[in-house]
Amino acid sequence: MRTIILVLFTLSLTFQPVMIYSQDSNEQKKEQREREKQEKAAKKAKEKEEKERKKKENGGKPKWAGLPEKMSGVKEVDAYILTVDSMYTYVKNYTDRINFYTQKTVPLIDANGEQIRSEDGQGYVKTEITDQDGNRVSITQLVLQAPDVLASLLGLTADATSVVAQGLSGGIAFISNPMAAFTHGKYLKDGPGVLVYIAQEGGRLYSSTKTQYDVLTKLRKSEVTQDFGLDINRDETIINTENDYAEAAGVENILEELSVE
């Protein structure tokens, strides 16, 4: 009996260190996995931060190299590249153009430097739109063109979503032409980001354009036709009472809205 007890005791002493070592090893592996997980998460966060920084430096615009010097020769891929490029170019050009226009509303001043007022004491204001060089723009033309521009932007936003499938088709087509995938794969890689930008920017431009169009349309409907003895180009200038302007522009305090000449 003593022999059996001795053997069991001996076995216990023999295997105990092994069990402790095994437990320590598992703890170390667990800690190592946790460190690797944290390092991976930190690296991913840093890459995301760097990506956002570069995107911000680029004005929020995605990376798009423009049309390649030579197309891939793969029908689906080339169609995708051409579509994305034309949509991106349209949005970029429109963004550059619309940012150059400034709506300016100021008190209507007479020859004595006083604001012209109605019989009930309400002041008149004039609204003009200028380009980047300060030249007045035809408001009539802007109002007439707005419906077509809005339709184009609305269609552009919808098309940006549907073209995503075209990019997937292009990716599948690369299977039969691995060389084209090597030379033009970046376009399929950058395409989705460009399409998201187009959809978002198209929506933003649609909203801002529609707001300006609605305001100018309301101002035209309530404009004052008197010339007050001033040389006024009605194509480039809209005259309203302060109340009518405030209602059309959706503002409460007209004085805070008026530009300073």
Tens digit of each residue's pLDDT (9 = 90 or more) over 73-102: 878 778 888 888 988 888 888 777 665 678
Q: Residue 69: inside a domain, yes or no?
A: no
Q: Residue 67: inside a domain, yes or no?
A: no
* Residues of the domain holding 32: 1-60
- Domain match, 53 and 98 both: no
Q: Residue 227: inside a domain, yes or no?
A: yes
User: How much is the CA Rg of the chain, to the nearest whole Å?
Assistant: 34
- Domain match, 54 and 80 both: no
Question: pLDDT tens for residues 225-254?
Answer: 988 888 899 999 999 999 999 999 887 655
Q: Residue 197: inside a domain, yes or no?
A: yes
* CA-wise closest residue to 254 among 244, 121, 216: 244
Q: Residue 122: inside a domain, yes or no?
A: yes
Q: Residue 66: inside a domain, yes or no?
A: no
- Domain match, 144 and 251 both: yes
Residue 9 has pLDDT above 50, yes or no: no
- Domain match, 240 and 168 both: yes
- Domain match, 130 and 35 both: no
- Domain match, 28 and 155 both: no
Give the whole-angstrom CA distance, residue 239 versus residue 49. 49
pLDDT at position 63 is 79
- Domain match, 204 and 85 both: yes
pLDDT at position 147 is 92
At CB < 8 A and 24+ separation, what contacts does 74-79 make?
A: 74/170, 74/173, 74/174, 74/176, 74/177, 74/180, 74/184, 75/173, 76/166, 76/169, 76/170, 76/172, 76/173, 77/170, 77/173, 77/174, 77/180, 77/184, 77/187, 77/188, 79/166, 79/170
- Domain match, 115 and 146 both: yes
Q: Residue 87: inside a domain, yes or no?
A: yes
- Domain match, 28 and 99 both: no
pLDDT at position 138 is 93
Most confident of 93-107, 128-142, 170-184: 128-142
* CA-wise closest residue to 74 among 151, 167, 10, 208: 167
Q: Residue 68: inside a domain, yes or no?
A: no
- Domain match, 80 and 125 both: yes
pLDDT band at 257 (very low <50, low <70, confident <90, very high): low
Give the whole-angstrom CA distance, residue 156 versus residue 202. 7
- Domain match, 90 and 127 both: yes
- Domain match, 161 and 229 both: yes
- Please state the domain count of the chain: 2
